[in-house]
Structure 1
Amino acid sequence: MTSAPRGILLVDKPGGITSHDVVARARRALQTRKIGHAGTLDPMATGLLVLGVGPATRLLTYIVGLDKTYEATIRLGVATDSDDADGVETARADAVAVAAVTDDAISDGVAALSGPISQVPSRVSAIKVGGRRAYDLARAGEHVELAARTVTISRFEVTGIRRQDDMIDLDVVVDCSSGTYIRALARDLGAALGVGGHLTALRRTRIGPFVVDGAVGEIAPDTELRSDAAVAASVLGAFPVTADEARDLRHGKRLPGAAARMVTANPAAIDPDGRLVGIVERRGDDVKSIMNMAEEPL
C-alpha cells in the first residue's frame, strides 16, 4: 500500500490564478486533501508558493513569517483602487507632472520607503475586518479602513527606469519582512512623488532559504516532495536526538540537561534515521517538544 504523501513542495505559480487554485491542483494531482500554503500570492503575481502536504502542513506556520524577495514593476503616473493593474483607475497625472519626476526624486522616494516603515495595507487585501476579508468589503462598495503596521524593507532597489509621455515604469527588487505589501509600496511611492502609482507586475523569487529556481510549474502525481525534516532543519536549525530521546519527546517527556546542545531557539529535532520528531524549545536546562510530528514510516 502506498503511503500518503508528506513533505514540502515549492511551486512557481503562474499568473491569472489564485494561491487556492494552486492548492486545489495539488490536491487533485497528489490525491490528498491535506495541503496548505504559506504566504498568499495575488492572482496577478507569479513566483514562489510553498505548499505543505500531509503532516508537513504543520511546518507552514514556521515558514509564513520568513522574509521574502520580490521583483516588481511600478507604474508612476496612474493610481488604481487596488494599487495594482487588476484594479480600476482612480487618478492619472498629466504629462507635465510626470516629466517633472526626476531620477533623483525617485531615488529619494525609494530611500524614504526603506528600512523600518509604517505601512497601511492595500484596501483590496485578504486582511480580515470584522470577520470579513477587506477585498470583499471593498468590492461590495463598503468603506475599508486598515490599520498601519510596521514592516521592514531591507532592500528597495531600482533596476530599470522606462519613461513614456505620461507615465514612468520602474523595475525594482525588494527584500522585505513578512506582511509587506509591494502594492502599497507602489501606491506610497507614487503618492510621495505627487503623480500616483500602482503595481503592474510582481514575482516572488524567495521565501527565507527557498528560491523559485527549481520550483515546479506543473504538479504531477509523481512530483517529488522535499522532506519535512530537511525543510525544518533549513528554516529552524537541526537538533539531532538519539532514538531514546526521540521516543521521549514524542511521549511529551523532557530531555534533562539537553539545552546546552541547542544552537537555535526552536530547532527541529531529527532522529538517527533522519526523520522529523518535532520542534523543540528550552525549558531551563531541559528540552521539551512544542510540536510533535506524526511518526514517518521507514
Structure 2
Amino acid sequence: MAQAQPSGLLIVDKPQGVTSFDAVAAVRGALHIKKVGHAGTLDPMATGALVIAFGHATRLLNAIVAHDKTYEATIRLGLTTDTDDAEGAVHVDESIHSRWKELTKRHGEQGSWQTGTFWHDLLADTIASHFTGNIEQVPNTFSAIKINGQRAYDLAREGKDVELKARPVTVSEFSVLDVRAGVVTGKNAGEPLLEKDIASFPFDSAAGPDQSFCSSLNDHSVTSGDGESDPRGVDTVISVASTGLIPVLDVNVRISCSSGTYIRALARDLGMTLGVGGYLTRLRRTRVGRFALPDDASGLIAADAMQQTSAHTITAHTEAKTFVNREGERVTRNTCVLDTPAGLAGEERRAWVLGRALTMEQATRGAMPAVDITAEEAAELRFGRRIERVVPRDTQVAAIAPAPDDVSDDAPADVVAILERANAHQAKPVTVFPLA
C-alpha cells in the first residue's frame, strides 16, 4: 500500500527578489509533494509571511486568502513611480515643490524636525481623516487584476490605458512608526535617503540654494542613482542641491487591513492627498489572519497563537541560478532556498521541514471556525449527509472529530469536512476530507 501523503501548512518568511511561486517551488522540492499552494501573493519586492499549504490542507487556502493581514512598510513622499513602488520608473513633478514649500514653512514655524512632531502629526491626521475604516480604493494599474481575461500589469506594460474601478476595503490600523526627512537624486526609486532637515531646502531656484542647507550636507555621502556613494564638499553639494536634489520624507508605517487592500495604492493616495506624491520603497507582511511571523507587532492575535505560528516559521534566502532554457539560451534568475540546517539533504531535510509544519488540525483551526463532532457524526458527513449543527449564514466551519479508537492516544484529530448552513438547525458538508 502506498504511503499516505502528508498534509499541513508552513509559514515561509519570503525573501526579497523572488516570487511567491518560487517559494512554493522550494517547499515542493523539499517535501517531494506536487500538491502545494499559497494563500495570497507577495510581489518580488516584498518580504514576509507567505502561508503555504500542502496535501489536503490546500483546500483551506481559499479561506485563508480572505483573512485580514498586517504589513510594515516604508512610504516615500515627494516623488511618484509608474508602479507605485520601488520597481517602477521615477517621475519628478516640479509642481510638487510649491506644496513642499507650503508644508515646510508650516513645519519651520513649529520647530526643528529632529525634536518636533510636525511631520508625524500631519501624517497621522491625514491618515485618520482619509485612510482608516471603510474606504474606497482604486488598485494600481500594475496589478494582477484581470480585465477581459488579461492581467492589468500586462496591459500596462503594453502601454494600453488601464482603468480599474474603486473597490471597498477596510483599514483597521494605519500607524506612523517613524518619519525621516531628507533628500535623494531621484534617479533610482530604491535610492537610499540622505537624512536632512528639509525646512531650509532651496525650493525657490531663482533665489539660489540656501547656504545653510547646503552646508549641512558637507561631509555626508550623497548616493547617486547608480548606487555609488562618495563624500562631497560644500561647493559640490551646492551644485547638486541647485540642480538635482529632491526633498522627500520616508515614512515607516504599520497597516492592518482587509484582504484585497493594495498597500502600494495607500502609499500613492497618501502622497496624492498631501499633494507631494508617494510610492512604496519597502513592504513586509507580518501576519495573515492567525498566522504570524515572530516579528509581528500588531497585537491582533493571542500570545499562545503567536507562539504556535512562530514555532512553525521557516526563513528562506535568495540564490542566483544559471540554466539553459528551451531556446538554448543561458539564463540566470533568482531562486528561493529554504533555510534548513547545514548538512541535511534528502529524507532528513524533508523530515525537518515536515517537523516545522502545522498539522492538519492546527492549520484548519487557524483557517476558520471549527466545531467538534462525534465519530458517528463524522461517518454521516463522509456519506454526504447533514448533521444537527447551527451554522451562521454565509459562514463556513470545519468539523473535527477525535482520532479513531483503534489508533494511538497521541494520534492527531480527524479533520472531517467543511460545513455550511443547510437550514436553521442543520449543517451540510461542502468539502469532505479523506481519512488520514
- How does 1:83-162 map onto structure 2 within 5 Å? 83-92=84-93, 97-98=99-100, 100-101=102-103, 103=119, 104-111=121-128, 112-162=130-180
1:48 alignment partner in structure 2: 49
- How does 1:1-298 map onto structure 2 within 5 Å? 2-92=3-93, 97-98=99-100, 100-101=102-103, 103=119, 104-111=121-128, 112-165=130-183, 166-213=247-294, 214=310, 215-218=313-316, 219=338, 220-222=349-351, 223-224=353-354, 225-255=357-387, 258-260=388-390, 265-273=395-403, 274-284=413-423, 285-296=425-436
Q: Which amino acid aligns with 1:217?
A: T
Query: What is the number of equivalent residue pairs in this alignment?
Result: 293
Q: Which amino acid aligns with 2:9?
A: I
SS at match of 2:386: coil
SS at match of 1:146: coil
TM-aligned CA distance change 1:132 to 1:263, over 3 Å: closer
Identity of aligned residues (%): 47
The separation in 2 between residues aligned to 1:25 and 1:100, in whole angstroms, is 51
The separation in 2 between residues aligned to 1:92 and 1:42, in whole angstroms, is 27
Q: Which amino acid aligns with 1:128?
A: K
Deviations 1:46-68 (A, max 9, x none): 00001110111110011000000
SS at match of 1:82: coil
Any gaps of 5 or more consecutive residues in structure 1?
A: none
Q: Which amino acid aligns with 1:271?
A: A
The separation in 1 between residues aligned to 2:122 and 2:371, in whole angstroms, is 49
SS at match of 2:396: coil
Q: CA deviation at 1:135?
A: 1.1
Q: Which moved more, 1:63-72 or 1:85-94?
A: 85-94
Deviations 1:37-90 (A, max 9, x none): 111101000000011101111100110000000000000001000000001112
The separation in 1 between residues aligned to 2:435 and 2:427, in whole angstroms, is 19
The separation in 2 between residues aligned to 1:217 and 1:181, in whole angstroms, is 24
Please tell me whether the aligned partners of residues 291 and 366 of structure 2 are also in contact (alpha carbons under 8 angstroms): no
Please tell me whether the aligned partners of residues 396 and 418 of structure 2 are also in contact (alpha carbons under 8 angstroms): yes
Deviations 1:19-43 (A, max 9, x none): 1111111111111221111111010
The separation in 2 between residues aligned to 1:57 and 1:168, in whole angstroms, is 42
Deviations 1:227-258 (A, max 9, x none): 22222123322211122211110110112xx2
Q: Which moved more, 1:127-136 or 1:96-105?
A: 96-105
Q: CA deviation at 1:9?
A: 1.0
Larger radius of gyration: 2
Please tell me whether the aligned partners of residues 161 and 169 of structure 1 are also in contact (alpha carbons under 8 angstroms): yes
The separation in 2 between residues aligned to 1:236 and 1:293, in whole angstroms, is 15
- TM-score relative to the length of structure 2: 0.64
- TM-score relative to the length of structure 1: 0.93
